């Protein structure tokens, strides 16, 4: 390495790794983290009209999708990078990996770069609980959990801690995934019931949560699994061509979504006509629209994950990190003594009188006047 | 800090700070960096149809704009985060700050997180040279450089090293900016001529480069400044409501752009009718369209900066960093022994039997059936 004459000065961008987030969860405790996330999410959903919202920007390939999810209010901008590659697990990689950024709207300074793989799982479960608190019967105690992969423990514990769920009925086409979940949660007071089918898991469930990963038009939840009073928390159908709920299930009760323009493309409601009625969750939270109106009604939360949830989660984690003194500085943006003197950031990297420039560019400068 | 039971394992994302980039430039030399960038840009522009292109996603506020610029080919995805806040300099901050990411299309793994504040200045100048090599007269020796801010030295040196420019005629409404440029470049063999006006700077110039920063419909280049055979390299008009060239200047010669759908919104051609003829630069490079066809023709490169240029620059800097052993690992994405066991990344952060959950969530669970 060649030492440079200029000191390395940078703007104060903070960095949170997965290890930092795990330390924050360890210090605060998982129930308090879920509770704090739900409170932050609810506060932000209640000021929904203040946000500059757009559907995510997706780049699809044969094996998966890479997405950017930007959102901003008048003071803070955020975006998430997230992929979805169902085949990744075959090579020992996660299906979903993510990171995100918070930035200051007035200056454009990136304030935080954070892991969002763990944090997305936390905020998705918190969003599910926030919806269920408005839509499920408060006396719900039994939840079916179909899909026991990377997201499943987060869903199980968030509903245990914040919705009073006492029994989880488990099913996954991969029995090893279910066994992994049972090992991970064996120390909790949850009753975990391994079931032989999705139908068996749904039996007696007050809440039916689906978090499957296949990028396919799957039918995980069929009409025979739905019973009066059930709340369906559909988390895995979140991408064009990736669904979980039978169309008849969507017709059984009112369907609630995060952001209708995005959900009609990505959610289970992608299977329905463009005029299929959906209600945005923020309207229920604000009292502008009805949530559950009777104990025997079926309610459906067709969740796809919206940029606002990452905005809320990033703000929450940043606040925790600041309060706990966790995280690290990330030297991402140069701080300049004179902002018009970006060149100074090269330090003494600038050659002085250069010999041989002619040789360097003789080939490059050989372009002559061209005809089409 | 509480030590966690799990070792911190992460995917191999590399990080390049501005200091790392300065070290790469220092080691390779600025002429070789510009030359390598031009070669990488040209190779990528020549396979233009292979890219999944989209206009950038902009979030505008009263004080500026924050943009995401994604692009991908079949193997590599990239995006840039970049702001534009002309008022930033008043508080000692840069107008433009940026960072970017390279990711693997097949898995979604982020391979590189890199500063792009310095690198954008380098790639913008390299793009200007690539265009000028196709559009300017090869015997060009004198360049006017209007706007002597953060980008100006990069433009001056790239044209010096790779186009044989020997004299730069300087003008900026802020004389201190011009003096800063002259100090920064005093050791080079460039003849630097400070001018009292843009018109004076343009006198005798073979190439006229504008890199001004005001977010305004400005008219920096007026028809009286344009002489036969001139190549106009318009860099600063790159945002809706931010222009530099008088409409009559755009009518003086063929206008070349990077990506027409974006340039018609953001470039100086935003002032022109939707059917105003423009030629995409890649077509000139590939020989599919004419560039300059005579020595006395006026040519205009209406540059706005396109995502492909950042893709190329990120790939180039990553290759340099790998070859030189520079950069650092960034613990951004957890590496899991079992990808379905994301929960394990929380380590021992998971509480076991939790007491007091009822107290924690009693308020949150108080939502009863609601009417609209």
Same domain, B173 and B280: yes
Listed in order, strand segments (DSSP E) in A178-229 are: 191-194, 207-210, 217-221
A174 labelled catalytic: no
Residues A85 and A98 sit within 8 Å (Cβ to Cβ): no
Question: Has residue B372 been placed in a domain?
Answer: no
Position B266 scores a pLDDT of: 87
Whole-angstrom distance, CA of residue B208 vs CA of residue B198: 10
Question: Has residue A194 been placed in a domain?
Answer: yes
ipTM over 0.85: yes
Position B350 scores a pLDDT of: 53
Question: Has residue A291 been placed in a domain?
Answer: yes
Domain count, chain A: 2
Whole-angstrom distance, CA of residue A64 vs CA of residue A62: 6
Position B353 scores a pLDDT of: 46
Q: How many CB pairs under 8 A join A and B?
A: 408
Same domain, A73 and A114: yes
**pTM, full prediction:** 0.90
Same domain, A58 and A206: no
Q: How far is A362 from chain B (nearest CA, A)?
A: 8
Q: How far is B354 from chain A (nearest CA, A)?
A: 7
Same domain, B183 and B166: yes
Q: Examine the fold and report which residue of A271, A305, A339 is the final residue of a domain before the chain moves on.
A: A305
Minimum mean pLDDT range among A46-55, A341-350, B133-142:
A341-350
Same domain, B156 and B224: yes
Question: Has residue A99 been placed in a domain?
Answer: yes
Position A365 scores a pLDDT of: 38
| CA distance readout (Å), B254 to B217, B218, B300 | 21, 21, 6
Contact A26 B2 (CB under 8 A): yes
Position A241 scores a pLDDT of: 80
CA A285 distance to own-chain centroid: 20
Q: Report the pLDDT averaged over residues A184-198.
A: 96
CB nearest to A133's CB, from B77, B161, B365: B365
Q: DSSP class of residue A280?
A: E
Q: Is the pLDDT of residue A206 over 60?
A: yes
Residue among A116, A16, A34 nearest A67 (CA): A116
Residue among A330, A317, A335, A282 nearest A78 (CA): A317
Q: Is the pLDDT of residue A217 over 80?
A: no
Position B89 scores a pLDDT of: 87
Position A294 scores a pLDDT of: 96
Same domain, B218 and B96: no
Contact B94 A342 (CB under 8 A): yes
Same domain, B151 and B110: no
Which residue from B minimizes the CA distance to A96?
B108
Same domain, B167 and B287: yes
pLDDT in tens, B208-264: 999 987 666 678 899 999 999 999 999 987 777 878 899 999 999 999 999 999 999
Band (A350; pLDDT cuts 50, 70, 90): low
Q: Are strands A98-104 and A76-84 parallel, antiparallel or unpaired?
A: antiparallel
Question: Has residue A109 been placed in a domain?
Answer: yes
Position B4 scores a pLDDT of: 42
Position B358 scores a pLDDT of: 41
CB nearest to A349's CB, from B26, B93, B138: B26
Question: Has residue B354 been placed in a domain?
Answer: no
Residues of chain B with pLDDT under 70: 1-8, 214-217, 348-372
Band (A355; pLDDT cuts 50, 70, 90): very low
CATH assignment of the domain containing B97: 3.30.1780.10
| CA distance readout (Å), A204 to A230, A348, B353 | 9, 72, 25
Same domain, B150 and B46: no
**Residue B316 parent element (H or E):** helix B307-324
Position B348 scores a pLDDT of: 64
Residues B69 and B79 sit within 8 Å (Cβ to Cβ): yes
Same domain, A166 and A94: no
Band (A6; pLDDT cuts 50, 70, 90): very low
Question: Has residue A356 been placed in a domain?
Answer: no
Which residue from B minimizes the CA distance to A65?
B108
Minimum mean pLDDT range among A262-266, A282-286, A296-300, B80-84:
A262-266
pLDDT in tens, A68-86: 999 999 999 999 999 999 8
Q: Examine the fold and report which residue of A289, A305, A321 is the final residue of a domain before the chain moves on.
A: A305
Catalytic hit among A238, A268, A302, A310: A238
Same domain, A277 and A137: yes
Which residue from B minimizes the CA distance to A84?
B108
**Domain boundaries, position B247:** 132-305
Position A243 scores a pLDDT of: 85
Mutation target vs B (from A22, A31, A96, A337; most B CBs, 10 A cutoff): A22
Contact B153 A343 (CB under 8 A): yes
CB nearest to A339's CB, from B79, B89, B366: B89
CATH assignment of the domain containing B223: 3.40.50.720
Question: Has residue B355 been placed in a domain?
Answer: no
Mutation target vs B (from A145, A346, A362; most B CBs, 10 A cutoff): A346
Same domain, A300 and A320: no
């Amino acid at each position: 390495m060649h030492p440079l004459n200029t000191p390395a000065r940078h703007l104060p961008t903070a960095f949170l790794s997965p290890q930092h987030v795990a330390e924050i969860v360890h210090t605060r405790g998982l129930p308090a983290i879920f509770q704090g996330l739900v409170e932050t999410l609810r506060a932000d959903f209640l000021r929904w009209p203040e946000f500059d919202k757009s559907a995510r920007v997706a780049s699809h390939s044969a094996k998966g999708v890479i997405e950017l999810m930007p959102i901003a209010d008048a003071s803070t901008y955020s975006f998430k990078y997230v992929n979805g590659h169902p085949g990744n697990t075959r090579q020992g990689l996660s299906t979903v990996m993510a990171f995100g950024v918070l930035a200051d709207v007035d200056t454009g300074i990136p304030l935080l770069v954070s892991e969002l793989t763990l944090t997305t799982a936390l905020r998705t479960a918190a969003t599910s609980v926030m919806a269920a608190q408005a839509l499920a019967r408060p006396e719900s105690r039994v939840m079916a959990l179909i899909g026991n992969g990377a997201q499943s423990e987060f869903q199980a514990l968030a509903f245990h801690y914040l919705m009073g769920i006492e029994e989880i009925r488990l099913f996954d086409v991969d029995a090893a995934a279910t066994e992994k979940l049972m090992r991970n949660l064996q120390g909790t007071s949850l009753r975990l019931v391994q079931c032989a089918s999705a139908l068996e898991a749904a039996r007696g469930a007050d809440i039916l949560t689906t978090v499957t990963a296949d990028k396919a038009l799957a039918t995980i939840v069929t009409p025979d699994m739905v019973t009066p009073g059930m709340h369906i928390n559909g988390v895995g159908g979140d991408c064009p061509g990736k669904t979980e709920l039978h169309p008849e299930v969507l017709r059984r009760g009112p369907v609630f979504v995060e952001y209708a323009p995005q959900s009609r493309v990505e959610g289970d409601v992608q299977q329905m006509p463009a005029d299929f009625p959906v209600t945005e969750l923020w309207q229920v939270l604000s009292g502008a629209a009805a949530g559950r109106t009777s104990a025997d009604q079926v309610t459906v939360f067709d969740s796809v994950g919206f940029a606002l949830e990452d905005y809320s989660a990033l703000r929450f984690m940043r606040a925790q990190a600041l309060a706990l003194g966790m995280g690290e500085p990330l030297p991402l943006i140069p701080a300049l003594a004179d902002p018009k003197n970006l060149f100074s950031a090269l330090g003494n990297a600038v050659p002085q009188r250069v010999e041989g420039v002619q040789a360097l560019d003789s080939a490059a400068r050989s372009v002559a006047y061209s005809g089409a």
